[in-house]
């Protein structure tokens, strides 16, 4: 049975529009509260948020719904998503909730639930909550609400305990005007680095706007112009990190996986269908098995658990270190990667050069109905033809975005081939959408 409201990353949408209206979020809080209370006589739910202007509204509605079922709500305030996951497990809460739309623009928002173990709720639990949404739930007890004022301190202590001294490093930070804006510079200064921080003045509307891990152009320029050793860009909710080397080059998730896999001597690494073939080839040369999953940290997590591995992630900078945390954490990724870099005695420039990438072209096509379009036989025929043209020299992946009305077309292989192949498939997607 498929889920109606929950996607790969919780409930997402434009704030104020279905499904993210205050009325729906109130009902979602009631349904989730009823589920939690059926499994915990005195449920406690931790509630965090990023810096979007709609977070306060959705937070109030969700908290009211939870409290109507007798749940005690502990507000964490603005905190990265992985901070909510960490504290949920650390404090023994029944569940955690993050209000954020990650790297999306400020108009979007979302609600993501965490289990008592700090990982995402299983599909079957989300289905149970959706069933309760269809019921006319009555008030079942009166919950209470409080601010948990130790959230930032506890989370920072945890992150700082994971890294070695970064003394001597000069780092530029881009906090995306998001959830890491109060914490990132404090963490890296605490570890001894010299820090310059940018995009740390959120106004409710500037989260991810021309900044952060999806827009690192200004950060690249600043690292080079200021003569700093490296840069780190986070996304709006702080679960991703993109690094920049001193030459202004992007050190993305594939580079991060390669560096950490070799320094940590991992037996295997999990990536996705979007991971560059260059990573797979270089890991194989190092005797490290590489596994691919569908796109999404949920699938990377499941494969890691099933294979008893600890390191996996995506090009976007969403990296999982399951020996340290149950979910992706941008600040943790940066701290562990820089610690591994220092241990290796090689800087990011050397590690970047050590991993030659196959040319890869990614096009995002905005469409009206991504799921209907993906069922079109004409599209599948075009993909088959494209694979034949690449003739084993590359690959193509066409998929719907998990969070936006987009179809993503990725073609990888020789530069002289991928431009033409990509253009043909993109044009077909556009024609099918207009038909």
CATH label, 11-149, candidates 3.40.30.10, 3.40.640.10, 3.40.120.10, 3.30.410.10: 3.40.120.10
CA distance 333 to 254: 13
Torsion on CA atoms 69, 71, 74, 76, rounded to nearest 10: -50
CA distances from 182 to 149, 185, 205, 207 (A): 14, 7, 17, 14
Helix (H, G, I), strand (E, B) or coil at 411: strand
CA terminus-to-terminus distance, the chain: 30
Per CATH, is 360-434 categorized as 3.30.310.50? yes
pLDDT value at position 415? 84
pLDDT value at position 428? 95
Before 19, cis peptide (omega within 30)?
A: yes
pLDDT value at position 1? 58
Domain boundaries, the chain: 11-149, 154-353, 360-434
- Sort 284 into a burial class: Cβ within 10 Å, 0-12 / 13-18 / 19+: exposed
- CATH class label, 154-353: alpha beta
The sign of the torsion formed by the CA atoms of 265, 270, 276, 280 equals positive
Among candidate residues 102, 213, 339, 422, the one labeled active-site is 102
Q: List, in order, residues 6 or more apart from 144 with CB less than 8 Å away.
A: 67, 72, 73
245 known member of a binding site: no
pTM of the predicted model, to two decimals?
0.89
Helix (H, G, I), strand (E, B) or coil at 30: helix
Q: How far is CA 183 from the centre of its chain?
A: 18
pLDDT in tens, 230-272: 999 999 999 999 999 999 999 999 999 999 999 999 999 999 9
- Say if residues 102 and 237 touch (Cβ distance below 8 Å): yes
Does the annotation mark 344 as catalytic?
no
Helix (H, G, I), strand (E, B) or coil at 255: helix
401 known member of a binding site: no
102 known member of a binding site: yes
pLDDT in tens, 376-411: 999 999 999 998 988 777 889 999 998 789 999 999
11-149 and 154-353 agree in CATH topology: yes
Q: What is the mean pLDDT of the chain?
A: 96
Mean pLDDT of 61-80: 98
């Amino acid at each position: 049975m498929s889920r109606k409201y929950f996607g790969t990353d919780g409930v997402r949408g434009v704030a104020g529009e279905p499904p993210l209206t205050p009325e729906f979020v109130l009902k979602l809080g009631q349904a989730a509260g009823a589920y939690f209370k059926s499994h915990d006589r005195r449920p406690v739910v931790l509630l965090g948020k990023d810096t979007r202007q709609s977070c306060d509204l959705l937070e109030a509605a969700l908290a009211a719904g939870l409290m109507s079922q007798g749940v005690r709500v502990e507000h964490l305030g603005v905190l990265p998503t992985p901070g909510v996951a960490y504290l949920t497990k650390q404090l023994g809460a029944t569940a955690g909730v993050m209000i954020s739309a990650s790297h999306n623009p400020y108009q979007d928002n979302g609600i993501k639930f965490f289990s008592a173990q700090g990982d995402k709720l299983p599909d079957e639990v989300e289905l149970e909550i959706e069933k309760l949404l269809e019921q006319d739930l009555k008030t079942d007890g009166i919950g209470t609400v409080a601010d948990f004022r130790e959230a930032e301190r506890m989370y920072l202590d945890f992150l700082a305990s994971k890294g070695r001294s970064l003394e001597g490093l000069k780092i530029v930070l881009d906090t995306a005007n998001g959830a890491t804006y109060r914490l990132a510079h404090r963490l890296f200064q605490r570890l001894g680095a010299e820090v310059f921080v940018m995009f740390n003045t959120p106004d409710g509307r500037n989260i991810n706007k021309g900044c952060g891990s999806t827009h690192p152009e200004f950060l690249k320029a600043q690292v080079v112009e200021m003569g700093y050793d490296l840069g780190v860009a986070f996304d709006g909710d702080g679960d991703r990190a993109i690094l920049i080397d001193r030459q202004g080059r992007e050190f993305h998730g594939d580079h991060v996986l390669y560096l950490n896999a070799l320094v940590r001597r991992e037996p295997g690494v999990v990536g996705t269908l979007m991971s560059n073939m260059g990573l797979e080839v270089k890991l194989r040369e190092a005797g490290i098995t590489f596994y691919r999953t569908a796109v999404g940290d949920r699938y990377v997590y499941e494969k890691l658990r099933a294979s008893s591995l600890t390191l996996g992630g995506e090009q976007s900078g969403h990296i999982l270190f399951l020996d340290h945390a149950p979910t992706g954490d941008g600040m943790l990724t940066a701290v562990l990667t820089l610690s591994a870099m220092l241990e290796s005695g090689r800087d990011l420039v050397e590690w970047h050069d050590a991993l030659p990438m196959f040319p890869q072209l990614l096009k995002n096509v905005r469409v009206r109905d991504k799921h209907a379009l993906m069922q079109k036989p004409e599209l599948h025929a075009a993909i088959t033809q494209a694979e034949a043209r690449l003739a084993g020299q590359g690959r193509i992946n066409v998929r719907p975005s998990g969070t936006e009305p987009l179809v993503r077309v990725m073609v990888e292989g020789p530069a002289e081939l991928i431009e033409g192949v990509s253009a043909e498939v993109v044009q077909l997607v556009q024609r099918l959408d207009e038909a």
